[in-house]
């Protein structure tokens, strides 16, 4: 709008300057031609005198658009349609400008030249400038109106253009957010007009198709691993367990077999956790979204892990817990269970673990606080990666997948996982979007039992 207005200002200003100059030039040329004609009449031998010519021209101009005044050397009027010499201003170009008041009381501008007829006489010839001034005012009005209309058109065009661009960008942003939320089959909208946005959308869609193909390949590999490795590991564990029950083996061998069974359980749990994280992050997890009463969910988790904490002489406290949201109850319970299991695992005997929830603007925050070694601030982003473990938990069994799974579940529900210092210990906050929904929550009992004791931390 500013560029268009500046361009219009320069263009219309140039037209105004040229038009005004042309009109003024035409007026001056008319006056000059009038004076030349009078001079020629005066100098023509045998022709009528200048006084006769002036009288004739005054008679033919009853509107007094042209003024004549012939004066003697002592300023006495001799002839003309002016009673006296008008007060005015003589500029450097020889033009005499003055103003008269007509019968209606209006001030009428005149411009003329002074002709020295002889040493005893001089003549003033002036032309009315009302038409020129009216034309100038008209040009000024047209100039302002044109500029205003141009700016309005520029504003309207800018709004239309920016709205069109914004709608296209918003459509791409919305689709991008849906894809990041796990809807990998969504594609960028294309209008079919092959403009820059369509070309961008086509390129993004081609990229998404390639990514989808790669995800399908990874999914196929994961399924093959699940089929080819998990089943043999399960059989191996079963055989080891059967062998450990044989009465003829020594106690030392039995202990080694039990340790090997524990390692096999750890491998199976790690594999299940990796598989579940991959399915959640790729959006292929089977969604069972329901209205969740988080207060009841936290109470169930507290009841389960309260007894687990007592085994290590750790007290698990349940604080305020009330709120509702839509999501996968199994996954949310899994996330809370992982956080409680980690807090109990890494806390020393005699310490406290606290589970509570806060209802904040736009989201619900589940908080698990412990009094363990905590996580250094520089490593709080890294512990969300798979298999990463801090030096503060060296010697404690674990695979480094617990927080990775919780983070994947949080992102799957449109939330986030935040780690903070509990001084001492770690404070983990699971932020989830809240929804207001009437009616009882639908809680699947099977999901509660299945997620009760995760073993993949």
- For residue 123, the domain's CATH number is 3.30.450
Residue 266 lies in a domain: yes
Render pLDDT for 247-286 as a digit per residue (tens, 0 to 9).
888 888 888 888 888 878 777 776 666 666 666 665 555 5
d(CA 341, CA 337): 6
CA angle 336, 342, 347 (to 5 degrees): 130
pLDDT for residue 438 is more than 70:
no
Q: What is the mean pLDDT of residues 307-320?
A: 86
Same domain, 242 and 390: no
d(CA 103, CA 130): 15
Same domain, 205 and 60: no
Its sign, for the CA torsion 7, 13, 16, 22, is negative
pLDDT tier for residue 338 given thresholds of 50, 70 and 90: confident
Residue 151 lies in a domain: no
Same domain, 56 and 95: yes
Structural domain of 404: 288-450
249, 280, 311 - which closes a domain:
280
Same domain, 28 and 63: yes
Give percent above pLDDT 70 in the chain.
83
Same domain, 312 and 423: yes
pLDDT tier for residue 77 given thresholds of 50, 70 and 90: confident
* Angle of helix 2-43 versus helix 50-59 axis, rounded to 10: 130
Q: How many domains does the chain have?
A: 3
Give percent above pLDDT 90 in the chain.
4
The token pair that represents 63 in the structure block = 């509107």
Same domain, 88 and 216: no
pLDDT in the model for residue 388:
67
Query: In this predicted model, which residue has the larger pLDDT, 136 or 236?
Result: 236
Residue 148 lies in a domain: no
Same domain, 273 and 301: no
Mean pLDDT of the chain: 78
Residue 298 belongs to domain with CATH number: 3.30.565.10
| Residue from 165, 227, 167, 166 nearest 196 by CA | 165
**How far, CA to CA in Å, does 3 sit from each of 10, 13, 151, 152, 161?**
11, 15, 10, 13, 15
- Strands 315-318 and 352-360 turn out to be parallel
Residue 127 lies in a domain: yes
Of the listed ranges 82-91, 345-354, 372-381, the one predicted with least confidence? 372-381
pLDDT tier for residue 448 given thresholds of 50, 70 and 90: very low
Render pLDDT for 27-75 as a digit per residue (tens, 0 to 9).
788 888 877 777 776 666 544 567 777 788 888 878 778 888 888 877 8
| Residue from 110, 116, 99, 2 nearest 50 by CA | 116
pLDDT tier for residue 391 given thresholds of 50, 70 and 90: low
Residue 271 lies in a domain: yes
Of the listed ranges 61-65, 108-112, 209-213, 218-222, the one predicted with least confidence? 218-222
pLDDT in the model for residue 439:
35
Q: What is the mean pLDDT of residues 147-168?
A: 86
d(CA 105, CA 83): 17
Same domain, 323 and 234: no
Its sign, for the CA torsion 281, 285, 290, 296, is negative
pLDDT in the model for residue 203:
92
pLDDT in the model for residue 233:
81
Same domain, 21 and 76: yes
Residue 113 lies in a domain: yes
Residues 6+ apart with CB under 8 A from 137: none
pLDDT in the model for residue 206:
92
Q: What is the mean pLDDT of residues 444-448?
A: 30
Same domain, 206 and 58: no
Which helix (H) or strand (E) is 40 found in, with range? helix 2-43
Residue 54 lies in a domain: yes
């Amino acid at each position: 709008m500013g560029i268009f207005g500046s361009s219009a200002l320069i263009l219309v200003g140039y037209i105004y300057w040229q038009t005004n100059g042309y009109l003024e030039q035409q007026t001056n040329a008319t006056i000059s031609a009038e004076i030349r004609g009078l001079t020629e009449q005066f100098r023509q031998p045998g022709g009528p005198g200048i006084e006769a010519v002036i009288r004739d021209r005054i008679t033919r101009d009853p509107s007094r658009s042209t003024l004549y005044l012939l004066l003697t050397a002592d300023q006495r009027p001799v002839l003309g349609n002016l009673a006296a010499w008008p007060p005015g201003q003589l500029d450097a170009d020889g033009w005499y400008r003055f103003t008269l008041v007509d019968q209606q009381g209006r001030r009428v501008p005149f411009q003329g030249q002074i002709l020295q007829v002889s040493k005893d006489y001089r003549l003033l010839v002036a032309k009315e400038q009302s038409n020129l001034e009216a034309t100038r005012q008209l040009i000024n009005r047209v100039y302002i109106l044109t500029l205003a209309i141009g700016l309005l058109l520029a504003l309207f065009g800018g709004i239309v253009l920016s709205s069109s661009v914004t709608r296209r960008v918003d459509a791409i942003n919305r689709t991008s957010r849906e894809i990041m939320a796990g809807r990998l089959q969504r594609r960028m909208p294309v209008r079919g007009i092959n403009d820059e946005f369509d070309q961008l959308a086509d390129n993004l869609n081609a990229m998404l198709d390639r990514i989808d193909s790669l995800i399908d390949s990874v999914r196929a590999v994961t399924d093959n691993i699940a089929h080819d490795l998990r089943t043999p590991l399960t059989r191996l564990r079963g055989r080891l367990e059967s062998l450990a029950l044989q009465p003829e083996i020594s106690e030392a061998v039995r202990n080694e077999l039990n340790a090997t069974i524990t390692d096999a359980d750890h491998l199976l749990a790690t594999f299940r956790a990796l598989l579940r994280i991959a399915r959640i992050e790729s959006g292929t997890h089977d969604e069972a979204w329901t209205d969740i009463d988080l207060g009841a969910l936290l109470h169930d988790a507290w009841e389960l892990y309260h007894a687990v904490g007592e085994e290590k002489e750790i007290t698990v406290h349940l604080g305020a817990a009330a709120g509702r949201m839509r999501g996968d109850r199994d996954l949310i319970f899994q996330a809370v269970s992982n956080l409680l299991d980690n807090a109990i695992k890494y806390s020393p005997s005699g310490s406290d673990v606290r589970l509570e929830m806060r209802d904040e603007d736009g989201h619900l925050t589940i908080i698990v606080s412990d009094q363990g070694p905590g996580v250094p601030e520089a490593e709080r982003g890294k512990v969300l990666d798979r298999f990463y473990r801090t030096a503060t938990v060296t010697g404690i069994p674990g695979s480094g997948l617990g927080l990775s799974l919780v983070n994947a579940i949080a992102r799957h529900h449109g939330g986030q996982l935040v780690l903070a210092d509990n001084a001492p210990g770690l404070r983990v906050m699971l932020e989830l979007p809240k929804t207001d929904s009437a009616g009882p929550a639908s809680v699947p009992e099977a999901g509660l039992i299945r997620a009760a004791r995760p073993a993949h931390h």
